[in-house]
Amino acid sequence: MIQTIPIKPADATWTDDQWKAIYASGQDTLVSAAAGSGKTAVLINRMIEKVIATEKPINVDELLVVTFTNASAAEMRHRMSEALEQAIVENPTSNHLRRQLSLINKAQISTLHSFCLAIVKQYAYMLDIDPGFRIANEAEVALLRDDILADVLEGAYDSEEETKVQAIYRLVDSFTSDRDDQAIETLISKLYDTSRVHAEPQKWLWSLPKTYDLAEDVTIDDLELSHYVKLTVRHSLEEAFVLISEMRTITLQPDGPAPYAETAEIDFAMIQEGIRISQDGTWQELFDYFATVKWSTLKRVSKDALVDGELQELAKKKREAAKKIINKIKETYFVRTPARLLEEIRLMAPTIGTLMELTTIFSEQFRLAKLERGIIDFSDLEHYALQILTVDVDGVLQPSPVALDMKKRFKEVLVDEYQDTNMLQETILQLVKTGEEQDGNLFMVGDVKQSIYRFRLAEPKLFMRKYSEFLETPDVTGMRIDLNANFRSRKEVLNATNYIFAQIMGERVGEILYDDNASLKPAAPYDEKEVPVELVVMHPPQDEESVEEQVDITDEAAELEELKKSQYEARFIIDRIRQMMEDGTTVYDTKSKTERPLKYSDIVILMRSMTWSTDLVEEFKLAGIPLYTESSKGYFDALEVMIMLNVLKVVDNPYQDIPLASVLRAPFVGLTENELAKIRLADPKVPFYDALRQFIRSEGHGVQTATF
């Protein structure tokens, strides 16, 4: 039942939605928290308020808090401790608060994997595993998987049952080339991984062959897959339609190929008919459409017409691109008749069954191999925890006595980054929470726009389903709260972001409508000064230029030609930073609410990935600008350390060409690339060390004597 949310004090700094998220209770609650909306602060304050409440306070070990990373869990635990210490200062006679401080280290604030690990360790006696198990590292698991996969396929080929061998050959012929069976290994591995995010992997696996066992009266339109294929066809047709529209726009220009406009109108009608059928028609009608679709001949442009040749060619290219799209659709989906497609699907049923059988064998042998070695992986943790938390009642998983105890223990279950939860993790959470959605104790925080782990089989549709069904003022369902006030960025940054994503993100692309609820609202206390957002399109110097252009190239431009794109971009950033520092640029300090001179620490460089981070660091070092980088490469990947390690390698064995070249190129030797090339030419067929010795013995080698 929904509980009353306390009235927000006039001096409270929380927004209305944040206040609601901190105190809402009595039902499952989903908080859609956009970037910079203060969701971590809300989550932590909700936990604190639950513990220090004057009415019906709970103990910290009665909270289950699931985070996405260990760092987030550590931060929450630390901030919880600080809040409790502050509460004790304000109320030093409270035994409840002092008890909470002593319980904080026992509080279940962790990643879901750590929570599952705690369950498995506590109830290991209920499982058929070595109680002294350890978590295997990724490399160890990968090697073991490869070995088991190879053994499974080898065993299948060597089977004494001729029917099984023939079934394997049919499977291999269906999914692989004539060179190797690597594709089968990949299929088995992907099927295994996908099955592991389901509560009952084997049940899910063996449901797949049933989808190929079609009744005689089934049509293509009855298949669940047909909807998605039609959608794909329609999207492609719409893409072709846009290309023809662009072609028509070109024909309407003053010096455009006007006769092509008539052809474009014919193409429009043809493609629009295809779009209509893909949306409302049957598969048979769509097949008939592509079987009869025919492009009209492009209207002739008179030689005497005043037509821009480039525009004419561009119009032709647009139409050719549209034709390629249509032809690709036809070749991909409509070569076979609907009846033939259904027949082939039915013929595939035994082959898919063979694939499921191999996957099942691999799954079992992989499990036994890990048991033998006393190791488990992260997927095992979740499944072993699920095994402890459930009992099978007439083929349906029901909460076990352990799960029922946890339901009584945990007064609230809080989940961070809910958009990256998978089906199995959702099942585990449902087993330890209480009630249904309308009267439950599950509090979820996330942002589906930031879901980036679908490749790891996260299921953002779990978030989307609740987001669409939960209401702001719930009665028979859960509560939805939108946190879209951004306390991090200036309004100009947010307006630019909203402008872009309102156009490119929708239910069709991104699976969420970027409407007013999803857009970012400026709430940071910045001044009202207008600060424009700039888009810089960089064009590094071309690799090839004409001789005439090269005559006027300066030494600086020649040097820039040789730079990698990363270095070129880094130097542009450096120049912009220097310019801002020299111009006396000021920034608004939100804490002091005053303007102050720009500092290097005010500047952050956001990158899509850290691939270029090393080049960026080196360029900033050369420029004398302090730069701190959060890099995963570590100490031994630093250039200076790598050079010294190569020195040690050369001392140990000079016949290592790459370490030797590195040392010779290092600043304390200082050979240029041209000098290294001369050394190699002294004797191209021997190791580089022998070539170096030969080079030194020769006269007129051209390298400064002091170098050696």
DSSP-derived pairing of the beta strands 586-589 and 594-597 = antiparallel
Note whether 386 and 471 are same-domain residues. Answer: yes
Show which of 277, 312, 335 is a domain's final residue. 335
Report yes or no on 509 lying in a domain. yes
What percentage of the chain carries pLDDT values higher than 70?
A: 93
Structure tokens at 383: 């499944």
Q: What CATH number is associated with residue 188?
A: 1.10.274.50
User: Is 546's pLDDT higher than 50?
Assistant: no
pLDDT tens profile 603-656: 999 888 777 787 888 899 999 999 988 766 556 667 788 889 999 999 999 998
Nearest to 417 by CA among 6, 27, 33: 33
Note whether 29 and 81 are same-domain residues. Answer: yes
User: Is 550's pLDDT higher than 80?
Assistant: no
Mean residue pLDDT of the chain comes to 88
The count of structural domains within the chain is 6
- Mean local confidence (pLDDT), 239-257: 93
Matching residue, tokens 């958009």: 419
pLDDT tens profile 11-34: 888 999 999 999 999 999 999 999
User: Is 508's pLDDT higher than 90?
Assistant: no
Report yes or no on 42 lying in a domain. yes
Note whether 691 and 673 are same-domain residues. Answer: yes
- Mean local confidence (pLDDT), 591-605: 90
Q: What CATH number is associated with residue 26?
A: 3.40.50.300
Distance CA 355, CA 172 (A): 10
Predicted confidence band of residue 549 (pLDDT cuts 50, 70, 90): very low
What is the Rg, in whole angstroms, of the alpha carbon atoms belonging to the chain? 33
Sign (positive/negative) of CA torsion 421, 423, 426, 432? negative
Matching residue, tokens 């079987």: 291
Note whether 62 and 73 are same-domain residues. Answer: yes
In a 10 Å sphere around its CB, with 0-12 CB exposed, 13-18 middle and 19+ buried, how is residue 17 labelled?
buried
DSSP-derived pairing of the beta strands 375-376 and 134-135 = parallel
pLDDT tens profile 510-520: 778 888 888 99
Note whether 295 and 352 are same-domain residues. Answer: no
CB 39 within 8 A of CB 483: yes
Predicted confidence band of residue 700 (pLDDT cuts 50, 70, 90): low
Report yes or no on 697 lying in a domain. yes
User: Is 707's pLDDT higher than 60?
Assistant: no
Ranked by mean pLDDT, the top range of 160-174, 177-191, 279-293 is: 279-293
What residues have CB less than 8 Å from 360, skipping those under 6 apart? 202, 205, 206
Number of Cβ within a 10 Å radius of residue 38:
22
Distance CA 312, CA 250 (A): 8
How much of the chain is in helix, strand and coil states, percent to nearest 5?
60, 10, 35
pLDDT tens profile 97-146: 899 989 998 889 999 999 999 999 999 999 988 888 999 988 899 999 99
Report yes or no on 264 lying in a domain. yes
Note whether 22 and 121 are same-domain residues. Answer: yes
Distance CA 660, CA 689 (A): 8
User: Is 280's pLDDT higher than 70?
Assistant: yes
Number of Cβ within a 10 Å radius of residue 132:
7
CA distances from 471 to 444, 580, 628 (A): 14, 48, 44
CB 358 within 8 A of CB 153: yes
Distance CA 53, CA 21 (A): 16
Q: What CATH number is associated with residue 695?
A: 1.10.486.10
Note whether 229 and 181 are same-domain residues. Answer: no
Show which of 633, 663, 691 is a domain's final residue. 633
Q: What is the DSSP letter of 411?
A: S
Report yes or no on 270 lying in a domain. yes
Note whether 392 and 407 are same-domain residues. Answer: yes
- Mean local confidence (pLDDT), 392-399: 91
Note whether 105 and 144 are same-domain residues. Answer: no
Note whether 607 and 675 are same-domain residues. Answer: no
Ranked by mean pLDDT, the top range of 108-122, 150-164, 540-554 is: 108-122
Note whether 479 and 491 are same-domain residues. Answer: no
DSSP-derived pairing of the beta strands 412-415 and 63-67 = parallel
Show which of 443, 466, 483 is a domain's final residue. 483
Report yes or no on 212 lying in a domain. no
| Domain hosting residue 156, numbered range | 134-197+343-373
Report yes or no on 6 lying in a domain. no
Question: Using DSSP, how many helices (H) and how many strands (E) does the chain show?
Answer: 27, 14
Ranked by mean pLDDT, the top range of 401-415, 676-690, 692-706 is: 401-415
Report yes or no on 362 lying in a domain. yes
Note whether 575 and 648 are same-domain residues. Answer: no
Distance CA 51, CA 86 (A): 13
Note if the pTM is more than 0.95. no
DSSP-derived pairing of the beta strands 442-446 and 29-33 = parallel
